Structure 1
Amino acid sequence: MASAPQNPALPLFYKDLIPLNSQQHANWKTRATDKATWLVGVNSVPLTVEEFPQAQRNFPIIFTAGPDPIPLVLMGMNEGVNVFVDEDGIVNTPIYIPAYARRYPFMLAKLRNDADELSLCVDPTSDLVGEIEEGEALFNEEGQPSDTTTNMLKFCENFEMAGTKTANFMAELQKHKLLMDGELNIDLGNGQPPFNYRGFQMVDENKLREVRGDVLRTWNQNGMLPLIYAHLFSLDLVRDIFGRQAGQGKVPNMPVNG
């Protein structure tokens, strides 16, 4: 149903990635857009724990399968389907856009595997950056980063910090063995077999009830417990996502008159 971003070379959305510098990109600009073309056909997007409260209002929050799970929002129930973004990239419903998607085409990345330092990079294939006529300059006349670039750098830095908090959250879930293989079933009540979705993880509510009181108290104090319940409550939105997808005619093997 959902998979972690394919990352043998580049993260989800990015077709190329280069570090910004004032020599090569002195005349580059970045422009705003009302279209999220990079979200077209993407059914799951990485999420940080800080975003759970907002995201759970619009999407189911799940965790990837495998030994190093990360949180994802589901924007469609099947690969290649995003029920909130039209084919031309227009977001068709007021929704929360995850920070992972909002930072595009920028991101912080290591220039060398043996270095810890992160540099502000950009996807040069995006039409939102480059030597374009209209937009905000990335560097000023002195070759210093513009306010636009500085603000984007800060946004990306905050995203990286949120990523660290997310990793800690996931480590705590795994430490207490709270994750289980997930399964979501949609029964249309028409006598046809239900639609089954697997290939992800979710919190095991039975194991959550067995967590020691002192641990739960700590989770309540540090804000982790509300995040767990935000995830669990968000799963009720699966039927809404499925309904949208069915209404758009994008559910595989859906009976024509079903």
Structure 2
Amino acid sequence: MATAPQPTLPLFYNDLMPLNSRDHAKYRSNPGDGLTWLVNQHAVPLTSDEFIQAQRHFPIVFSSGEGSVPLALMGLNEGVNTFIDDGGKLIEDVYIPAYARRYPFLLARLAPDAQELSLCFDPASGLLTETDTGEALFEDDGKPAPLVQGALEFCQKFEEAGARTQAFVQELINKDLLMDGEIAITRNDDPDKPYIYRGFKMINEEKLRELDAETAKLWTGNGIMALIFAHLFSMDMMRHIFGRQAAQGKVPEQQGQPAA
């Protein structure tokens, strides 16, 4: 079975294979016991379409370096997810970003010059296997079963949301609104030793206040300003996530750990 080109695989994916009725006619879904791919994952990519929902649960930050993308922080330190236990089960009900919900499926180009995206999956996930139990991926006549049709539609919508997200971030970059972020959090039992979190970008509120009236009016009308405020409001969740880590005994000894 052919494997899709994979110079670098996205977060969560260990392998990538095109899904087709010839090679995977007998494959069925095997949901497993939980969201195992989220275990120990503290930062999950987020689309701008999800900001309003996500800001109620997580801090929303932007990755550092070039090609900045929005991230939902499910923990403040590498290897810490305060919402998923070691078995991949939710500790409490929480919004799961679409990036994580689409796994193990992914739309990818099978060749560098390919114009169309093909539905692929991670065969290493163990979520789609040749078995007698679970929901079928293909009908007896080879047509995609509802599960595959739903996965394809979800992935297509995710790609569309990803394009809107890139356009949103580019607007922020064009106006030089992203700056290196830093958050200091102190524990009540040791107020003299703050935990300093860096390694992410956030909106520069001073430059936002200096935004020209024409752009401010345009962004208010097209929804960009609402996304900006959702991000800014979500930053209060930093302390909430830190509190969750402290309650779970997952606050490290050392200072200055990167959040993203």
TM range (shorter): over 0.9
**Hey, what does 1:47 align to over in structure 2?**
46
Structure 1, unpaired ranges of 5+: 1-6
The match for 1:130 is 129
Q: Distance in 2 between matches of 1:14 and 1:211?
A: 40
Q: Return the alpha-carbon distance in structure 2 between the equivalents of residues 149 and 135 of structure 1.
A: 13
Number of the residue aligned with 2:247: 247
How many residues end up aligned between the 2 structures?
A: 249
Identity of aligned residues (%): 53
Closer, same or farther in 2 for the Cα pair 1:237/1:102, shift >3 Å?
same
Q: Could you say what secondary structure the match of 1:136 adopts?
A: coil
Quote the Cα distance in structure 2 between the aligned partners of 1:61 and 1:118. 29
Residue matched to 1:59: 58
Q: Which residue of 1 aligns with 2:165?
A: 166
For structure 2, the 5+ residue unaligned runs are: 1-5, 256-260
TM-score by length of 2: 0.93
Q: 2 CA distance for matches of 1:111 and 1:239?
A: 43
Q: Which residue of 1 aligns with 2:3?
A: none
Question: Please, what is the CA RMSD of the aligned residues?
Answer: 1.5
Q: What is the 5 A alignment of 1:1-258?
A: 9-33=8-32, 35-189=34-188, 190-253=190-253
Name the SS for the 1:135 alignment partner: coil
1:8 and 1:73, CA in 2 relative to 1: closer, same or farther beyond 3 A? farther
CA deviations over 1:169-211 (Å, ceiling 9, x no partner): 0000000000000001102253432000101100000000000
SS in 2 for 1:152: helix
Label 1:169 to 1:10 Cα distance change in 2 as closer, same or farther (>3 A): same
Instruction: Give yes or no for contact 2:30–2:129 (8 Å, CA) kept in 1.
Output: no
User: How far is the alpha carbon of 1:84 from its aligned partner?
Assistant: 0.4
Deviation of 1:8 after TM superposition, in Å, equals: 5.3
Deviation for aligned residue 1:233: 0.3
Tell me the secondary structure at the aligned position of residue 73 of structure 1: strand
Judged with a 3 Å threshold, the aligned counterparts in structure 2 of structure 1 residues 26 and 74 are, in CA distance, closer, same or farther, namely same
Amino acid in structure 2 at the alignment position of 1:158? K
Q: Which deviations, in whole Å up to 9, do the C-alpha atoms of 1:12-57 show, x marking residues without a partner? A: 1111110001110010111445510000000000000000010000
> What's the secondary structure of 2:108's corresponding residue?
strand
How big is the shift at 1:247?
1.1
After TM superposition, the score normalised by the length of structure 1 is: 0.93
Shift in Å, 1:116: 2.6
Q: Distance in 2 between matches of 1:145 and 1:151?
A: 10
